[in-house]
């Protein structure tokens, strides 16, 4: 097993000996030696490493490119000192680095009911996400439209020029902000900008006040059910709008939770539609019976809800085939906001610091995914969806060092996030990010 990793790399010149290197872009999964100089990656082959630099035993450790989170909820932007207990950009950045994420897509609106910052819909607001030294790189999503103005669009071109990574909206038969007319206009207009649309295909009228998908478990748990068509009907409608546009802008479907939804996306892809999709890490990790196993923990109240077992298995197969990416959908609610009866709790939970260790432990170590498949779904696939340069382990790139065998207990003291909205609070996990390096100036 590896040695203790030094906390400060800024003055060190060392060789990690016998580290497991994962590079999905180059399809490398091998044990090798890696040269780090003042924290920067210099060489990933023994032949390129000087013989006279210190060696550090890295047996059992994993070194891969920086992870990319497609979408997460950001924290307080202004007046951070006025919101004790609320996630801030500072704490969010610390949580991202602690989880191995060097780039984080930030949704344009605050968590429902919190109103901690204005919706990102004007070019001058993009600047609030400028990266500070030592932070992850923020990838801000702009809102597609003014939520209270129906089909009134935001200044898309100006937002794209200002640095928005793309445009986010929900899409259903009842959402004026995600109306077919507005969506069709966006698909036509945004193509030259090569900016993706991030769309949640969800029909709230079909979902109603349900908190678990309809079926045996909703009945057994006494919870109001949600028909699966709340997702699939909205998704089918979205794809039909895309088919009606010649050369539409790329669309990324977020929060996929069903096998049928994955089939619809895969069929659209075979037709040549520029559509990609992702699921959240918790939909890969747990199925609906976990609500009983965890005693109706409100941190398992999600939208879309936790999937049926067969749907979870299909989502994992989608990761295996390269059809899906993984997002944290990090939702940093406060203790007071989340501590409610299951059906009344706001949907969402934190994930930036937990996704990699829990997915590795439950999917890689069990053989459901290979290490390259998991790392690709957390880095290479998101980069392709967002039009970013593919993350790799060339000299001068972002990198993450992960110890799959390191055990730690999830607590307020060990979490960098200000939120403790997770079912794993107080639990001991196996797998810990030792260091995350974000290349300066990139």
Active site residues: 329
* Phi, psi torsion values for 430, nearest 5 degrees: -115, 125
Give the pairing of strands 428-437 and 399-409: antiparallel
Q: Tell me the two tokens of residue 130.
A: 């400028």
CB 46 within 8 A of CB 16: no
Give the whole-angstrom CA distance, residue 51 versus residue 74.
45
Give the whole-angstrom CA distance, residue 352 versus residue 303.
18
In the sheet that holds 197-201, the strands lie side by side as 67-72, 101-106, 137-143, 166-171, 197-201, 251-253, 275-280, 325-327
Q: What angle do CA 46, 48, 51 make, to 5 degrees?
A: 70
Place of tokens 């790799």: 392
CB 350 within 8 A of CB 412: no
Give the whole-angstrom CA distance, residue 296 versus residue 14.
48
Give the whole-angstrom CA distance, residue 319 versus residue 340.
33
Q: Angle, nearest 10°, between helix axes 259-270 and 309-321?
A: 30
Residue of 205, 138, 194 whose CA lies nearest to 170 = 205
Q: Tell me the two tokens of residue 38.
A: 């003042």
DSSP string, 142-195: EESB-GGGTT-B--HHHHHHHT--EEEEEE-SS-STT-HHHHHHHHHHSGGGT-
Question: In Å, how far from its chain's centre is CA 20?
Answer: 24
Helix, strand or coil, per DSSP, at residue 418: coil
- Cis bond upstream, residue 304 (ω within 30): yes
Which positions ≥6 away from 79 have C-beta within 8 Å?
A: none
Helix, strand or coil, per DSSP, at residue 357: helix
Which helix (DSSP H) or strand (DSSP E) does residue 435 occupy?
A: strand 428-437
Question: How many CA atoms does the CB half-sphere of 210 hold within 13 Å?
Answer: 24
């Amino acid at each position: 097993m590896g040695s203790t990793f030094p906390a400060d790399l800024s003055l060190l010149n060392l060789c990690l000996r016998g580290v497991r290197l994962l590079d999905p872009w180059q399809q490398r999964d091998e044990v090798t030696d890696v040269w780090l100089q003042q924290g920067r990656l210099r060489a990933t082959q023994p032949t390129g490493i000087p013989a006279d630099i210190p060696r550090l035993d890295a047996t059992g450790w994993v070194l891969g490119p920086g992870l990319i989170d497609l979408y997460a909820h950001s924290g307080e932007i202004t007046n951070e000192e006025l919101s004790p207990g609320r996630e801030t950009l500072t704490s969010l950045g610390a949580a991202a680095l602690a989880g191995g994420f060097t780039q984080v897509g930030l949704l344009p609106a605050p968590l429902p009911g919190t109103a901690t910052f204005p919706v990102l819909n004007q070019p001058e607001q993009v600047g609030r996400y400028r990266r500070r030294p030592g932070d992850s790189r923020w990838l801000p999503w702009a809102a597609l439209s003014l939520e209270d103005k129906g089909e009134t669009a935001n200044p898309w071109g100006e937002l794209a020029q200002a640095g928005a990574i793309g445009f986010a909206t929900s899409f259903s038969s009842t959402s004026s902000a995600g109306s077919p007319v507005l969506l069709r206009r966006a698909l036509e207009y945004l193509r030259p900008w090569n900016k993706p649309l991030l769309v949640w295909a969800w029909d709230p009228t079909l979902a109603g006040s349900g908190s678990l998908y309809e079926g045996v478990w909703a009945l057994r748990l006494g919870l109001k059910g949600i028909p699966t068509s709340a997702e699939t009907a909205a998704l089918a409608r979205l794809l039909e709008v895309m088919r009606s546009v010649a050369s539409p802008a790329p669309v990324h479907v977020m929060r996929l939770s069903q096998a049928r939804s994955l089939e619809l996306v895969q069929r659209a892809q075979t037709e040549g539609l520029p559509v990609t999709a992702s699921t959240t890490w918790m939909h890969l990790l747990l199925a609906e019976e976990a609500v009983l196993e965890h005693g109706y923990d409100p941190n398992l109240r999600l939208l879309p809800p936790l999937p049926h077992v067969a749907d979870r298995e299909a989502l994992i197969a989608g990761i295996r085939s390269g059809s899906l990416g993984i997002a944290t959908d990090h939702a940093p609610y406060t203790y007071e906001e989340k501590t409610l009866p299951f059906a009344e709790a706001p949907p969402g939970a934190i994930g930036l610091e937990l996704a990699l260790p829990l997915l590795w432990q439950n999917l890689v170590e069990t053989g459901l995914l290979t290490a390259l498949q998991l790392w690709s779904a957390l880095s290479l696939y998101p980069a392709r969806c967002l039009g970013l340069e593919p993350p790799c382990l060339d000299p001068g790139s972002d990198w993450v060092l992960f110890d799959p065998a390191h055990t730690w207990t999830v607590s307020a003291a060990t979490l960098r996030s200000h939120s403790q909205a997770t079912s794993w609070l107080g639990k001991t996990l196996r797998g810990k990010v030792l260091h995350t390096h974000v290349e300066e100036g990139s």
